[in-house]
Structure 1
């Protein structure tokens, strides 16, 4: 594929850091470097590092790895971790095309750099409607056109994507060439695209020459034995740039995400990083690597299945409480992954923002108004609820309070509703 034709002028103009370009040479055995001005590690006060797991196991971090990770390293990440993650992608997704991988300061760091890589003034970007507010906030600061594609309980709708592209006024402006999707446990809806849907969407993207940016931080939080295969796993053209995160499965404070895809695009992301944050934290990467290496791929799979089972239990309990408190006051889809419920308020409520930001908070309940997730703004009766970090008792009380708010708001609208 001609990836350069997708790149923005800004991305094409980025040049590798002359100093960072020396890093592979410095790593050679016997090389003497008079190049980069790295601080001398003898001046660092840290001597060693060990990790204590909740199981009681203690991991004594490799001394040479620790010394290396205290200093500047490759932009693409700590090499042993980079290689381990490449192996994970091979085991889990079995990519059909050659790929590169880079590590970033959380997946959002990499996603925003990737999006910026494709945006010239007026560039249309296809996104799900609704979609993740963090990426929306970034995109709304860019000189691009957001094109929302409708979703339902099974994710992005292929027919709607096909309609938008088929009816696009190409005599006035070029068709979109970038599609940003969250296929598993979508934030905010909590639903996942089926394998059949992914195949349909991929075929449409082949037809119209579209690159797929697969943002999949909840992939390992699917509530099913057999995880739905990723876009990366069905990619035969090199048109998928995938983003994973360790935040939901190891620690959000580690700030580690990774991008997988065509090496040309990975290189462009790295060139961007060379002029901004240089590299992800060495110590965070080392803490992740030592654990992952100890677990191996089977141990990692066992861990993520425990994590997904934890959130599945939380989701089931939360849906039970929704049925108890919110039936008749709201409608919702049952999440199949992740940690969110996308809920439509009833009772004549057309704008959830005032209800949530003023009246719900007055009763000490916090949720996110649906407006934050709409690509092109506007009023909506929807609200996003998260069940990930509240106890059963807290969720019970929060939904009881929220039901009162909705009932009161419905009464103001002249609508009488009862909890069934």
Structure 2
């Protein structure tokens, strides 16, 4: 793939700063080197000498002075991340996804910052972008629409992107010279936000081949990848060790067109602000140059803490942690599905989730999810009208008969009660407004 053909003007024009190159070149100089070349605060001015982290199970992890002061509280941390952390993430990605081509890793300040960076590197205002018909509302409202991108929404069903529909759509767009042809696809493949769907590997292969045919870059945003489970209560949880290997767009990539985004937000904590990009070395180099002019990389001290935690856990500890997280989400998803099965018959259609945080329901007696908001207020429950996740969010004529039910935060008991209340709201809406099946 010709990377330069996909880069924005900014992406092509970025260069390594001369001062940064000088600092890097002499940063590891001999012990008698006198450094007069950089505006670096002296280590004696740093208020932190070490950190102690206490885990939920009472385990204490000490992050010593070498890790914190000598490495992470200065400007000279590589923009791609602190090497001990990037090495761990690279090993994880290699084991789980088994990339077909050469890849590198860049640590980011969460997946949102990663996406902001990629939009700047690969898209200009007015460019076209392919997204799923329903997509991550925060990115949609805060980045894609304000950036002035022309969004083409690709059809989805309960199995995610529909390859045949995508092919037809692209062939139609190819013949339309009035708008720029999309060069990039943004997709959330597992536990999709908001639909909760997960795309099969067979469909993934078709989508990848279609993107190759049309020279389209794939941004694989996969924050829910490690939150997967089989729905049966007695089924073993995959954790880390039993996750299927080689099941991603990155696993299929033969020519450097996939940029994968992962995050610790859903499996550790959003407040860590730690994510990572895996892509071809050329793409990661562009990311590093961008970070040099914007964030100077993710928080160094936090990277040291996360690295110390992962080092203490090892694969076995991380496996146990993921099993615990997966168990929490499975119990809540089961509560949502059970309440929906008991209460939503004749009111809505849904599919029980097996990944992620969301139950997506199609309303049978409302033209738009916004129509039931007053009734939800009446029963003291709230779910998200589906229009907020659609590219036509600001189109006053657009009707969207969907609701997104988030089951991740409340207890299983509260989730169950919430879906029951939602059913009461939908029933009241039907009785008062009459049937208007879509």
Class of the TM-score when normalised by the shorter of the 2 chains: over 0.9
Q: Answer whether contact 1:122 1:143 (CA < 8 A) is retained.
A: yes
Matched residue, 1:214: 220
Match of residue 370 from structure 1: 386
Instruction: Map 1:281-300 onto structure 2 (within 5 A).
Output: 281-300=299-318
Provide closer, same or farther for how the CA distance between residues 84 and 22 of structure 1 changes in structure 2, counting only shifts above 3 A. farther
Mapped to 1, the partners of 2:138 and 2:34 lie a distance apart of 44
Candidates 186, 202, 219, aligned match of 2:192 = 186
- The CA deviation at 1:335 is 1.1
Provide, for residues 217-266 of structure 1, a one-character-per-residue CA deviation record: whole Å limited to 9, x for no partner.
00011114443701111111111000000111111110100001012222
Matched, 1:165 2:170: yes
User: Hey, what's the Cα distance between the residues in 2 that align with 1:400 and 1:251?
Assistant: 29
Separation (CA, whole Å) in 1 of partners of 2:27 and 2:319? 32
1:198 — aligned with what?
Answer: 204
1:323-338 correspondence to structure 2 within 5 Å: 323-338=341-356
Which of residues 410, 413, 425 is equivalent to 1:393?
Answer: 413
Contact 1:88–1:297 (Cα < 8 Å) also in 2: no
RMSD in angstroms over aligned alpha carbons?
Answer: 1.9
Cα pair 1:119 1:143 within 8 Å, conserved: no
In the other structure, the counterpart of 2:79 is 75
Structure-2 residue corresponding to 1:56: 58
| 1:359 Cα deviation from its structure 2 partner | 3.4
Partner of 1:36: 38
**1-side partners of 2:145 and 2:100: how far apart?**
34
Structure 1 residue 299: Cα displacement: 2.9
Which residue pairs with 2:367 in the alignment? 350
Moved more, 71-80 or 170-179: 170-179
Change (3 A) 1:143 1:16: farther
Structure 1 segments, 4+ long, off by >4 Å, are: none
Structure 1 residue 207: deviation in Å? 1.0
User: Bigger CA drift: 272-281 or 142-151?
Assistant: 272-281
Match of 1:86 among 90, 102, 108: 90
Cα displacement string for residues 316-346 of structure 1 (whole angstroms, at most 9, x for unaligned residues): 1221111222222211121120110111122
TM-score (norm 2): 0.90
In the other structure, the counterpart of 1:415 is 435
Structure 1: unaligned runs, 5 residues or longer? none
Q: Deviations over 1:115-153 (max 9, x none)?
A: 222212331100001111122121001122100001001
Secondary structure at 1:167 match in 2:
helix
Range 221-230 or range 237-246, more displaced:
221-230
Residues 363-402 of structure 1: per-residue CA shift (max 9 Å, x gap): 3222211011102232201011111111133223322322
Distance 1:183 1:246, change over 3 A: same
Residue aligning to 2:234 = none
Structure 1 length normalisation: TM-score?
0.94
Q: In 2, Cα distance between the equivalents of 1:379 and 1:38? A: 56
Q: Which residue of 1 aligns with 2:182?
A: 176
Displacement of 1:81 in angstroms is: 0.6
- Partner Cα distance (1:2, 1:201) in 2: 19
> In structure 1, which of residues 150, 155, 160 is the aligned counterpart of residue 160 of structure 2?
155
Is residue 265 from structure 1 mapped to residue 283 from structure 2 by the alignment?
A: yes
Which of 102, 106, 109 pairs up with 1:105?
A: 109
Distance 2:211 2:429 in 1: 44
Aligned CA distance change for structure 1 residues 344 and 379 (closer, same or farther; 3 Å): same
Q: Look up the SS of the partner of 1:117 in the other structure.
A: helix
Which whole-Å CA distance do the structure 2 matches of 1:334 and 1:395 have between them?
A: 14
Find the aligned partners of 1:149 and 1:90 in 2 and give their Cα distance.
30
Question: Which residue matches 1:22?
Answer: 22
SS at match of 1:331: strand
Distance in 1, matches of 2:418 and 2:314, equals 40
